[in-house]
Amino acid sequence: MKPQSPIAILALACLVCLAIGCTRPVSIKNTVSKTTANPTIEIACITKMQTGEHWGAVKSGARLAASEARVTVEFYAPMSEADFQKQYQLFQEAIQKKVDAILIAASDEAMLAPLVAQAKAQGIVVVSIDSGFSNAEVDFHISSDNFKLGEDAALAVLKLHDSPIQATIIGSLSESLNMQERIAGIVSVLDNDPKSSISMDFSSAEESIAKEIINRLLGPDTRINVIFALEENSAHGVADTLVSKKSKGAPVFIAFGSSKQQISLLEKDIIDLLVVENSFNMGYLGIMKAVELIKGGKTNTVSLKTDYALITKETLRTPENQRLAFPVY
Amino acid sequence: MSHLRGRLSIRTIITLSIASITIVFMLSTGTMLFNIFTDAVTENAYISTKEIVNQVNLNLGYYFSDILYVANYVKNLARSPNSLSSGYLKENIRVILDSRKDMVSLLLFSKLGEILLNSSDIDVKSAPVIASQSWFQRAQNAQGNFTFNGPYIQNIYEAQYPWVISYSQEIRYETESGSESGILVIDMNFSTISELCRQTKLGTSGYIFLIDSEGGIVYHPRQQLINSGILTEDLATINDHVFGSYTDLYQSQDRLTIIDTVNHSRWRIVGIAFIDEIIARRKDFASLYVLVSIIGTITTLGVARLISNKVSSPIKRLDNLMRKVEAGDFDVVTTVEGSREVAHLSHTFNLMVTRIKELTTDIIHEQEQKRKMEFDALQAKINPHFLYNTLDSVVWLAEQGNTEDVVKMVTALARLFRISISKGREVITVGEELEHAQNYLYIQQMRYKDKFDFSITVPEELQNCPTIKLITQPIVENAIYHGIKYLQEPGHIWISVRAVDSSIAITIKDNGVGIRKDILDRILSDEFHQEQTNGDGHGIGVRNIHERIRLTYGTGYGLVLESELDCGTTVTIRIPKSAPIHPIKGVVSK
C-alpha cells in the first residue's frame, strides 16, 4: 500500500462531490419540465366524425385530461359518420402505430369488434366512449346510459302529448350501439301503449338526409305527432323542415344534443325537449381511465355512466343546466 | 488463545471509531443544513404561491374597477340633457365597446324592461323576458347601488349564448321631459376572468377558483368535473376562512389553500397549491442529500479502513512473526517498516529473537555435551566389568597352562582396547569397527567354551568407509547375553555389511530366543531406556546407539530391530556411506 493512496481517494471523493454539486441543478430543471414527463404514453382518440359540438366537447375533455396526465393524445375521425370504413382503417392504423391506448366511439360496432380483440392482443388498452360494443370486450366503457336516455325522453313525451302517439325516430347509424340502445329505450316505453306506433330512419348524421327523411314523412296527411332526433345533425335537419313548415299542430320534437343551434331552437319552441349529455366528461374520463389502465391500475368496474339532463325552455337557465348546456372549457 | 476470542482487532477498532465519528458528524451537519434549506424552500414556496394568487386577485380587482369606471362614465354622460335621444351616448359607448374585447354589451332599459339604449344592432328580447331576469330585479331593488350578477348565460339577444357577468344599476337619465330612471346593464365576457384564472398555475397542477358570497363556485378550471361530482372542493373549510391561508390534507394530498376577497365584488379567490409540487426542490435536495450521505459514508468507511490498515498492518505482521517464533522458528527476521514506534518495536523484536536463538543454541549445545558425557560414562562403565571377566578367564587359562589360548586372548583384548581407544578418534573405518566386534566375540567365545560361533562378512569396498565407533559391539553383547545365553543348542551370530543405496547396512543376526513383541515395540523409546539404565545397569541400550547415530548422522539413520520369539533377532544398523578414510596405523585385520 503506497502512503499517498488515502490522499488520492480523499481527493477523488472531493471531486465526486464537486461533480454532483455541479450537475444536480440541471437535473432539477429537467424534473420540472412537464411536457416530457410521460413521453412514452401515446393515446389515439377515434371519434365517429370530425365535426359537431358533441365531438368538440369530447375532444376538449380529452385534451384537459391529456394535459393533466401529461400524455400525448392524437385525434382521428372520418369526415362523415357514414364513412365507417374509414373509421375501421383509422383503428387499424392506430394498432399499427402501436399506441398505448385507443379511445374509440364505434360507428359500426360489429365491424370494429375484431379489431378490438386484435388491439388488446397486442397489449393496447381499448376504452370505448360514447358508443360501446355488444360483442367485444373493451377494457373500459364510458358513455351515458343510452337506454335510460331513450326511456326518459319517451316518458317526457308522454307528458307532452296525449295518446295515441305516432312517433318517428331519426338516428345516425343503425350499426351504432348507442343509437340501438336509445331506440330500445324509447320503444320500451312507447310500446306500453298499444295504440302508439313507431317508425325509424337513419340519417348517417347528415343534415340533408335527415331533412329529406322528415320532408317525406311529414306529408300533407301525416299522422306523425312526435319526432325523436337522436343526435345533433339529425336534429338540425329536422328543425330546418319544421321551421319552414311551422304550421298548426306541429309535432312534439325531442332532440339529443346541446349545439347552439339546438338551444336556439329550444328557445324558439321548435324543439320541445333537449336531451343533453356530458360529452366533455366522456373525453376526460376516457383518457384518465386509459392512463390509469396503461399504468397497471386495477378497476373494480368495467364501465362508467356519465351524467345527462332533460332540458326544456323553462329549465334551460337553471345554474346546473347552464353549466351542462353551455360548457366552459 | 481462548482469552483472545471475542476481542476486536486493532484494525476494526480504528475503522469503527474513525467511521462512526465522521459519519455521525457528517450526518448531523447534513441533516441540520437539510432542515434549514427545506424550511427556507418551503417558506419561499408559500410566499411565492401567495404572491401569484395576490397578483391574480389584483388583476380581478382592476377588471371590476374598470367596469365601475365605464359605468360612471356612462352615468355622467346620461345626465347631460338629450344625450340619449341625440345618439351622443350611443356613439360614445360604441367607442368604449369597440376598444374593449372583454365587454359584451352595454344596454339601458326602462323600468319596465323596454330597450332605451343598445350598444349592438341586434334586437333584444321582449320586455317581460328582460324584466324577469335577476340582474334587472336586483338593480331595481338596490336603491341606486350597483350589483354584480353571474356568471350566467346572457339572455338578451336571440341565439347568442356567451357566459357573462353583469354589472347592473338603476341610473337617472335626462330626457326633454325631465329626469327618468332606467336600468343600466354592462355585460362582461366571463372568459376574460376564466382565462386569467386558468392560465395561472400554482406549481405544476395547482389552480385558482372563485367562489361567491354564498360559497358557491363561480368559476373553476374543471367546472365540468365539479358539476358531475367527479371532483369536489372542500367548500365547508374554505367558507370558514374569509381570507388567509392554511394547509391541510384533502383527498390524501397535502394542499396549501390561499383565500382572499376580490375587490369591488363579493367574490373570493381561492388558490389551491399542492405542497409536493411547490416544494419539489425539497425532494430533489432530499435525494441529493441521501446520495451525498451514501457516498460520504462509503468514502469514510474506505478511508477509515485505509488508515487502520496503515496503522495495523505492521503490528499484524509482527504478530504473524511472533506466531512463527511461537511455533519454534527462530530464523525470522523482521523487515517491518512503519511509524517510529513500530520500527523500534521491530528492531527490538529482532534483538529479542536473536537473543532467544543464541540462548536456545547454547542450551542445545549444553544438552548435547551432557549426553555425550553420559555416553562416555556408560562406555567407561562397561570396560572395567568386561576387563575383569576377561582377565579372570586369562588367569584361569594360565592356571591350566594353556599358554596358547592365553596369548590369543590377551592379544584379542589388546586389539579390542586399541580400537576402543583409537587414538581418541570418534570415527573409525567399518573394517576396524567390525574387527572390534570380532575381537570381542573371540574373547566371549573363549569364555563360554564354544557355546556359539560367529561369522563376519565385509565387502572389500566397504572396509574403509567411515563410521562412528563402538556401535556394533553393544548389539553383539546384547545378542549374547539376552539371546544366545539362554539357548540349549549352539548359538550362531551372523554379521554382514552391505551397501544399500547411499547408505551402509550392518546386520547383526542371531538365532537366540528373540524379543517379545511388546518389548520390541518399546525398545527404542525413552521410557524403556530409562527403565533399563535404572535397572540392572546392563544396557548400553540399543537406544543409546540409536540416539548416537541419529545425533551424528540425522534422523534418517539408526537402528531397525526385527525379532521372532524362538527364532532370533536381526538388528540392522544404518549409517551413511561416505568416502573411504585411512585406518588407524598398527591395527591390522586378521
**Contact call for residues B519 and B548 (beta carbons, < 8 A):** no
**Chain A: residue nearest B207 by CA?**
A68
The enclosing H or E element of B466 equals strand B466-468
Chain B nearest C-alpha distance from A193 (Å)? 35
pTM, rounded to two decimals: 0.63
The three-class DSSP label of residue A302 is coil
pLDDT at B586: 54
* Chain A contact for B444 (CB, 8 A cutoff): no
* Chain B contact for A24 (CB, 8 A cutoff): yes
Q: Which residues on chain B are in Cβ contact (under 8 Å) with A328? A: 163, 190-191, 194, 219, 223
**pLDDT grade, residue B455 (50/70/90)?**
very high
Where are the domain boundaries for CATH 3.30.565.10 in chain B?
Answer: 364-576
Q: Which of B159, B284, B303 sits opposite A28 (nearest CB)?
A: B284
Q: Which residues on chain A are in Cβ contact (under 8 Å) with B308? A: none
**pLDDT grade, residue B581 (50/70/90)?**
confident
pLDDT exceeds cutoff 80 at B416 = yes
Exposure string for A158-171, b = 16+ CB within 10 A, e = fewer = beebeeebbbbbbb
Mean pLDDT along residues B224-243: 82
* Chain A contact for B291 (CB, 8 A cutoff): yes
pLDDT at A263: 92
Q: Which residues on chain A are in Cβ contact (under 8 Å) with B279? A: none
Residues 140-199 of B with CB under 8 A from A: 152-153, 155, 158-159, 161, 163, 190-191, 194
pLDDT exceeds cutoff 50 at A259 = yes
Place of cell 339546438: A262
Rounded to an integer, what distance in angstroms lies between the CA atom of residue A299 and that of residue A303?
9
Chain A nearest C-alpha distance from B284 (Å)? 7
DSSP state of B124: B
Are B225 and A281 an interchain contact pair (Cβ–Cβ within 8 Å)?
yes
Q: Given CA atoms B187, B188, B189, B191 in this order, what sign does their dihedral have?
A: negative
Q: Which residues on chain B are in Cβ contact (under 8 Å) with A323? A: 223-224, 227
**Chain B: residue nearest A37 by CA?**
B204
Chain B nearest C-alpha distance from A59 (Å)? 13
pLDDT at B195: 85
pLDDT at B347: 85
Length of chain A: 329
pLDDT exceeds cutoff 60 at B81 = yes
Domains and CATH numbers, chain A: 42-144+279-307 (3.40.50.2300), 146-277 (3.40.50.2300)
**Contact call for residues B14 and B311 (beta carbons, < 8 A):** yes
Residues 274-313 of A with CB under 8 A from B: 278, 280-281, 284-285, 306-307
- A/B interface, count of CB pairs below 8 Å: 87
Query: B364-576: which CATH topology?
Result: Heat Shock Protein 90 (3.30.565)
How many Cα atoms sit within 13 Å of B112 on the Cβ side?
Answer: 3
Q: Which residues on chain A are in Cβ contact (under 8 Å) with B291? A: 20
Mean pLDDT along residues A166-190: 92
**pLDDT grade, residue A36 (50/70/90)?**
very low
Exposure string for A130-144, b = 16+ CB within 10 A, e = fewer = bbbbeebebbbbbbb
Q: Given CA atoms B516, B518, B524, B530 in this order, what sign does their dihedral have?
A: negative
Rounded to an integer, what distance in angstroms lies between the CA atom of residue A321 and that of residue A276?
9
**Chain A: residue nearest B190 by CA?**
A328
Rounded to an integer, what distance in angstroms lies between the CA atom of residue B236 and that of residue B239?
5
Place of cell 454539486: A21
Amino acid of residue A205:
A
**Chain B: residue nearest A2 by CA?**
B310
Chain B nearest C-alpha distance from A69 (Å)? 10
How does pLDDT run across A118-167, given as a tens digit for each residue?
999 999 999 999 998 988 889 999 999 999 999 999 999 988 888 788 89
Where are the domain boundaries for CATH 3.30.450.20 in chain B?
Answer: 80-193
Rounded to an integer, what distance in angstroms lies between the CA atom of residue B437 and that of residue B454?
11
Of residues B130 and B371, more confidence is placed in: B130
Q: B296 — alpha (psi -120 to 50), left (phi > 0) or beta?
A: alpha
Of residues B543 and B394, more confidence is placed in: B394
Are B190 and A267 an interchain contact pair (Cβ–Cβ within 8 Å)?
no
Choose among A174, A204, A187, A243: nearest CA to A83.
A204
**Chain A: residue nearest B228 by CA?**
A307
**Contact call for residues B531 and B485 (beta carbons, < 8 A):** no
**Chain B: residue nearest A21 by CA?**
B288
Query: In chain A, pLDDT over 70 holds for what percent of residues?
Result: 87
What is Dmax (Cα atoms) for chain A? 113
Are A322 and B153 an interchain contact pair (Cβ–Cβ within 8 Å)?
yes
pLDDT at A29: 36
Q: Which residues on chain B are in Cβ contact (under 8 Å) with A29? A: none
Give, in order, the Cα–Cα distances in Å from B265 to each of B136, B148, B373, B427, B438: 18, 7, 130, 134, 146
List alpha helices for B339-498, DSSP H. 340-400, 403-421, 430-447, 473-478
Rounded to an integer, what distance in angstroms lies between the CA atom of residue A256 and that of residue A262?
9
Choose among A325, A287, A329, A234: nearest CA to A66.
A287
Are B227 and A278 an interchain contact pair (Cβ–Cβ within 8 Å)?
yes
Q: Given CA atoms A154, A158, A161, A167 in this order, what sign does their dihedral have?
A: positive
B40, three cell numbers:
427556507
Query: In chain B, pLDDT over 90 holds for what percent of residues?
Result: 14
Between strands B268-274 and B452-457, the pairing is unpaired
pLDDT at A150: 93
Q: At what angle do helices A260-267 and A232-245 cross, to 10 degrees?
A: 40
How does pLDDT run across A220-252, given as a tens digit for each residue?
777 888 999 999 999 999 988 888 776 556 788
Domain B80-193: CATH architecture, name and number where available: 2-Layer Sandwich (3.30)
Are B194 and A3 an interchain contact pair (Cβ–Cβ within 8 Å)?
no
Asked casually if ipTM beats, i.e. exceeds, 0.90, the reply is no
**Chain B: residue nearest A266 by CA?**
B159
| Burial of A95 from C-beta contacts in 10 A (0-12 / 13-18 / 19+) | buried
Which residues fall within 8 angstroms of residue A219, CB to CB, at 6 or more apart? none
Rounded to an integer, what distance in angstroms lies between the CA atom of residue B12 and that of residue A292?
52
Mean pLDDT along residues A55-65: 91
Chain B nearest C-alpha distance from A197 (Å)? 34
Q: Which of A16, A267, A326 sits opposite B163 (nearest CB)?
A: A326
How does pLDDT run across B122-176, given as a tens digit for each residue?
888 888 889 999 999 999 998 888 888 878 899 999 888 899 989 999 998 888 7
pLDDT exceeds cutoff 60 at A82 = yes
pLDDT at B530: 56
Question: What is the pLDDT of chain B when averaged over all its residues?
Answer: 84
Mean pLDDT along residues B314-328: 82
Are A6 and B310 an interchain contact pair (Cβ–Cβ within 8 Å)?
yes
Between strands B103-110 and B115-118, the pairing is antiparallel
